[in-house]
Structure 1
Amino acid sequence: MRTFVSAVAAVLGLLLSAVAIPAIWADRNIVQEDGFVALAAPLGQDAGFQQRLAAATVGTIDTAAVPDALAGLVKPVLEAAAGSLTGLPGYPAAWEETLRRSHRLSFADPAASPREADSSSSLTLDVAPLVALATGEISRATGLPLDAPKQTLIKVGQSGQRQLIAGLTAYAPLGYPMAIGAGIAFALALVAARRKWTVLVCVGFGALVLAGLWTLGSAAARDAVLRTASGNGIADMFKNEFVAAASNSFGPWVTGALIAGGALLVAGLVTRIASPGRRRPNR
């Protein structure tokens, strides 16, 4: 009976861990605003990404109010602004505010979202802070009073994916109680086991299997997202860079599972060698 209880508890702990670890990662790095900003902020420091984002951002500036006679003056200023935007002192703050606004739009209650933020989109970027930075620079260079929009919304992903965001928001925080449950299950398995080393070896091997499954699942999810196209250059550019950053961020968690699994395997083998079982009685 003790062996049965130990086995069931060990399997339950592994099943809970399989769900808890990705859920906790998603909550910390996607659902929580600070984690999302920390994950995506380095994208704004990549030189190639900066140049493409600046050019795309400047391209959204509405110059319809500029007189035709001054159009030739504005064009080179726009090109210069695209090249110097990321070097402006206000760029880091504008990029961070862009990420925060985008997260609030994407993860807020649809009823509380602005009408322009279509609830069918999976993620909505608001690059208005970057547009305002570029508009201010162009106004100073030309002396023309250009008005920056309050919002510049860009949809990322395909329609119908809003449900995925809602599901992630509801599911991710459950990872913490699941992790606690996994810890309790592992402790019960160890206490109930007749041979402690068996539990250590089985759980260690299970952790290695989970690390492999997480690696395959992460790669499959990354490829699935990359295959989608929004039809917007800025959106696809951000999506590709963000997915790569997310995949790299989850990598250390998988490595931690590999290390923990290997350590448990070694501990189990050492325990087995140190406690070989009952010795045969001397004749």
Structure 2
Amino acid sequence: MRTLVSAVATILGVLLAAVAVPAIWVDRTIVGEDGFVHLAAPLGSNTEFQRQLATAAVGTIDTSAVPGFLNDLVQPVLENAATSLAGLPGYPAAWEETLRKSHRLSFGPASASAAETGQASSLTLDVAPLVALGTEEISRTTGVPLDPPQETLINVGQPQHREWAERLSTYAPMGYLLAGGSGVAFLLALVAARRRWAVAAGAGLGGLAAAGAWAAASGIGSAQALSTDTGNEVANLFRDAFVPAAAEDFGTWTTVTAITGGVLLVVGLVAGAVSRRGPRANR
């Protein structure tokens, strides 16, 4: 009976961990603002993405307050801002704030009010900080004061993508509870086990299997995400850079799990071999 309880608890612990780890990664890296910014910040250094994003951001600048006789002066400044925005000293901070504002629209408390007003029916980038940077540069060059908008949204996904984001916000934090349940299950398995080395070996084998399943699922999910057309060139560039970055980051967690599983398996097998030789040596 103890062996059966230990085996069932070990299997339950592996299954719970197999779900908990990806959920915790999603909560920390995608749903969590700091994790998302850390993951997506390098995208701002992608030359093609910089150009497309700057063009889109500068294209939203309202120059209606500029007197008509200055139009010929403002237009070249606009064109120059679209190409040189990423080179301005304030660009890194503006890009980070863009990511934070965009993340709050999709995952933060502000997302609910934005959805109610119809401002963010799909995943969006709020490029207002970049627009403000461009507006400031134009004002500095022309001497004409321009007021930057508080919010400038660029769709980077379809409505169903926003639904996925809301589900992630709801369910990803449950990973910590599942991890706790997994720990309790493994503890029960150790307490009930007649051969504790078998629990270690089973946990290690389960870790290797989980890592393999995660790697396969990550590859399939990444391929599907990259093949989905968002209908927006800026969004496609964001997708093409963000998806591989996310897959690589999760790949680190997968590798650590595989190494841990391999170590547990070896330790369990070695401990089992030693325990079997012990009685023989005493004969």
The answer to whether TM tops 0.5 is yes
Taking the aligned partners of 2:244 and 2:102, their CA distance within structure 1 comes to 18
Write the letter of the residue equivalent to 2:243. V
1:209 deviates by 0.9
1:53-108 Cα distance to aligned partner (Å, 9 max, x none): 22332233334555565444333222321232122221122111111111111124
Structure 1 residues 223 and 64, CA gap change in structure 2 (3 angstroms): farther
Aligned length: 280
Taking the aligned partners of 1:61 and 1:102, their CA distance within structure 2 comes to 18
Residue of structure 2 aligned with 1:117, choices 119, 133, 141: 119
**Alignment of 1:9 onto 2:9:** yes
1:8 deviates by 0.4
Match of 2:23 in 1: 23
Write the letter of the residue equivalent to 1:203. A
User: Could you list the runs of 5+ residues in structure 1 that have no partner in the other structure?
Assistant: none
1:116 deviates by 4.5
Contact 1:54 1:83 in 2 (8 A): yes
Contact 1:55 1:82 in 2 (8 A): yes
Taking the aligned partners of 1:33 and 1:254, their CA distance within structure 2 comes to 22
What secondary structure sits across from 1:218 in the alignment?
A: helix
Match of 1:238 in 2: 238
Write the letter of the residue equivalent to 1:195. R
Matches within 5 A, 1:201-280: 201-276=201-276, 278-279=279-280
Write the letter of the residue equivalent to 1:112. S
1:106-130 Cα distance to aligned partner (Å, 9 max, x none): 1245542262523x31x22100110
Contact 2:40 2:99 in 1 (8 A): yes
Taking the aligned partners of 1:96 and 1:173, their CA distance within structure 2 comes to 24
**Alignment of 1:153 onto 2:140:** no
Taking the aligned partners of 2:205 and 2:169, their CA distance within structure 1 comes to 31
Structure 1 residues 260 and 88, CA gap change in structure 2 (3 angstroms): same
Match of 2:40 in 1: 40
Write the letter of the residue equivalent to 1:35. G
Taking the aligned partners of 2:23 and 2:217, their CA distance within structure 1 comes to 13
Contact 1:222 1:247 in 2 (8 A): yes
**Alignment of 1:174 onto 2:174:** yes
What secondary structure sits across from 1:279 in the alignment?
A: helix
Match of 1:100 in 2: 100
Match of 2:82 in 1: 82
Which range moves more in the overlay, 245-254 or 192-201? 192-201
Which range moves more in the overlay, 10-19 or 140-149? 140-149
Between the aligned residues of both structures, percent identity stands at: 59
Contact 2:90 2:133 in 1 (8 A): yes
What secondary structure sits across from 1:275 in the alignment?
A: helix
Contact 1:204 1:260 in 2 (8 A): yes
Taking the aligned partners of 1:140 and 1:208, their CA distance within structure 2 comes to 59
Normalised TM-score (structure 1): 0.90
Write the letter of the residue equivalent to 2:20. A
Normalised TM-score (structure 2): 0.90
